[in-house]
Structure 1
Amino acid sequence: MKSKTSKVFYALTSNSKRLFLVDGLGAFITAFLLFVIMGTMSEYFGMPESVLMILAVIASVFCIFSISCFFFVNGNKKPYLKAIGIANLAYCCLTLALIVYFYPQLTLLGLSYFLLEIVIISGLAYIEINVA
């Protein structure tokens, strides 16, 4: 019997177009959390509101790119998967740099959120780059 992780990995890698949808929805959730939740309650997370807005804009651009790829890319998807995978890794590096820079003012909730986000996004990026 396959483990849940194996089933999820197979579901994502068996249909490269589905990866765009998962990435786009994930980027939408990230942008929503950063704009709406964290932006209005930045004091509970410790990251400055202006930084949260920049991260939210980046996540919004990634969302638009991935959803556009899901609907409009019908041929060779590999270059687009590789591009969004590399962009996701760059976003993770930026987030990690911001964690280091703003560490003294981050709360445990903020630190936990950003570290969990890095783990999830880098895992998805790994899958995207390997499929590409």
Structure 2
Amino acid sequence: MNKIINNLINHSSEKPKTLFLTDSLGAILTAFFLFVIMRLFNEYFGMPKTVLTYLSVIVIWFCIYSSACFLFLKGRWTPFIRLIGIANLVYCVLTVGLLIKHYPLLTIIGTTYFLIEIVIIC
């Protein structure tokens, strides 16, 4: 497992543009899942639909940011990578807060989804 993580880190540091592409694709997938799938099948997840909407809007902004960085940045990647990294960590903290706040409403599937999302982002 450590070897896989080290390979990912090495690859990302050698090709930072790929990191932005990966982040934008992950963000669009997350937004689709939050706004479409989880809203349609809300009884299986339990998170209020308004919360899902707000989270999907945040993630769409992350997607736009990462896509713009992927398409337009030619150098000086570090501050932009740092910014999206901090934004993703803040999103994770927000998600943990929402898990705690809405825990009585969440199903096991909903809780599991958000915990897995946090692990993947981190």
Query: In the alignment, which residue of structure 1 is the partner of 2:17?
Result: 17
Q: Which runs of 5+ in 1 are unaligned?
A: 123-132
Q: CA deviation at 1:105?
A: 1.1
Query: In the alignment, which residue of structure 2 is the partner of 1:44?
Result: 44
TM-score computed with the length of structure 1 as normaliser: 0.87
Q: CA deviation at 1:112?
A: 0.3
State the identity %: 50
Give the alignment's Cα RMSD to 1 decimal.
Answer: 1.3
Q: Which runs of 5+ in 2 are unaligned?
A: none
Q: Distance in 1 between matches of 2:72 and 2:120?
A: 26
Q: Secondary structure at the match of 2:104?
A: helix
Query: In the alignment, which residue of structure 2 is the partner of 1:92?
Result: 92
Q: CA deviation at 1:6?
A: 3.0
Query: In the alignment, which residue of structure 2 is the partner of 1:74?
Result: 74
Q: Secondary structure at the match of 1:19?
A: helix
Q: CA deviation at 1:95?
A: 0.2
Alignment of 1:28-67 (within 5 A): 28-67=28-67
TM-score computed with the length of structure 2 as normaliser: 0.94
After superposition, the C-alpha distances for 1:12-55 in whole angstroms (9 at most, x for unaligned) are: 22211111001101101100100110011111101001100100
State the one-letter code of the partner of 2:109: L
Q: CA deviation at 1:4?
A: 3.2
After superposition, the C-alpha distances for 1:53-110 in whole angstroms (9 at most, x for unaligned) are: 1000100000000010000011211111111000000000000000000011110000
Q: Distance in 2 between matches of 1:74 and 1:116?
A: 33
